[in-house]
Amino acid sequence: MGSGPDTGGAPRRKRDADATRAALLAAARDLFGRHGYEKVTLRDIGERAGVDASLIARYFGNKAAVHRSAVAEDGREVNAPAEAGDLGAYTAYALHRTDRRGAPGPLVQALLSQSSAPEVRAAAAGELHTRLVTPLAERLAAEGHEDPAGRAEVLISCLVGVIALRSSNLFEGLASMTPEAIGAVLEAAAQAPDDRPAPPPEP
């Protein structure tokens, strides 16, 4: 008699591959988010994930590629294009998330590290523009602000700095503020009228 259907074939291998890729990605997000791009090796990621580091090449390619995937996956946890319109609410969310995981995250680490590979910083900046700067600029444009793109970049840069410095204990006031209070400050800055020069007096 012939044997029954093989239930341990391709579907099982696919589940195992998906689980391995997810474990590597989770490990990369955590390690890059805590230590930055340069200090993390592929071996570190494999050891944290509990798998052979050589599998990173199979699922992602190289170190820069797994970093890009880690940054993108980190951003997909929140619907930033919708939330960034309310800068105060998004700021509070981002700071609470930073507090929970005890690290700034892979995107902020990449942006702040002057020694990161250029393509890594460029990819992180692109992700930041897509998920935060662009939707905030669209909101500011709809509200009639001058140079909405530049204003959005200034505000999001402030948010990145707050995320990076709040846990450093270098600024006592910043460390003592709640995420909601910090969000209110940035939201007030977003709503502030443009500093436009007064028109010249009529002759």
Q: Is residue 57 part of a domain?
A: no
Each residue of 160-203: pLDDT tens digit? 999 999 988 899 999 999 999 999 999 999 999 987 655 566 65
Q: Is residue 32 part of a domain?
A: no
Which domain covers residue 76, as residue numbers?
66-191
Q: Is residue 42 part of a domain?
A: no
Distance of CA 130 to the CA centre of its chain: 11
Q: Is residue 126 part of a domain?
A: yes
Which of residues 166 and 1 earns the better pLDDT score?
166
- In 3D space, the residue among 12, 25, 11 whose CA is nearest the CA of residue 55 turns out to be 25
Position 140 scores a pLDDT of 94
Q: Is residue 10 part of a domain?
A: no
Each residue of 74-132: pLDDT tens digit? 777 655 444 567 899 899 989 998 998 888 888 888 888 776 678 888 888 898 898 88
Do 55 and 46 form a contact (C-beta atoms < 8 A)? yes
Position 80 scores a pLDDT of 47
Which of residues 144 and 117 earns the better pLDDT score?
144
Average pLDDT score over the chain? 84
Highest-confidence segment of 46-50, 131-135, 163-167: 46-50
Q: Is residue 198 part of a domain?
A: no
pLDDT above 60: residue 54: yes
**Global pTM value:** 0.76
Position 7 scores a pLDDT of 52
Q: Is the dihedral of CA 193, 194, 196, 202 positive or negative?
A: negative
Position 44 scores a pLDDT of 95
Q: How many domains does the chain have?
A: 1
Do 73 and 34 form a contact (C-beta atoms < 8 A)? no
Q: Is residue 107 part of a domain?
A: yes
Q: What is the DSSP string of the chain?
A: ------TTSHHHHHHHHHHHHHHHHHHHHHHHHHH-TTT--HHHHHHHHTS-TTHHHHHT-SHHHHHHHHHHHHHHTS-HHHHTTSHHHHHHHHHHHHHHHTS--HHHHHHH-TTS-HHHHHHHHHHHIIIIIHHHHHHHHHTT-SSHHHHHHHHHHHHHHHHHHTTTTS-HHHHHS-HHHHHHHHHHHHHSPP-PPPPPPP-
Alpha-carbon distances of 64 from 37, 70, 164, 200, rounded to whole Å: 8, 10, 22, 53
Q: Is residue 28 part of a domain?
A: no
